[in-house]
Structure 1
Amino acid sequence: MTTRGFGVKEAEIVGNLIADVLDNPEDQATIERVRAQVADLTKRFPVYR
């Protein structure tokens, strides 16, 4: 996360996304929503700029 430049706000988002999947591991809608949010985060914070 630090390599991408995530701050406290992004770390909290990641933690919440992990919790969402752990709370609903079989819910495909949750998994798809989390996947989309992860894609957005990684797009906004690329490893290399």
Structure 2
Amino acid sequence: VKIMIHCGACMLSEKEVESRYQDFLRKKIPICNYGLAMAKMTGILERSIEML
């Protein structure tokens, strides 16, 4: 596994999310939010952080 793309976890308890994050951090696997990953893949991330 090179990267873990995780959803907002609205259906999980805080304890479950923290446990998952700790497992991946312990294995030195980067974690990315699903929304940010989708924004990057569709090319809107750069536009969304540009100066107006």
* Structure-2-length-normalised TM-score: 0.32
Please identify which structure carries the higher helix content.
1
* Structure-1-length-normalised TM-score: 0.34
- Structure exhibiting the larger radius of gyration computed from Cα positions: 2
Please identify which structure carries the higher strand content.
2
Bigger relative contact order, structure 1 or 2 (CA pairs below 8 A, ≥6 apart): 1
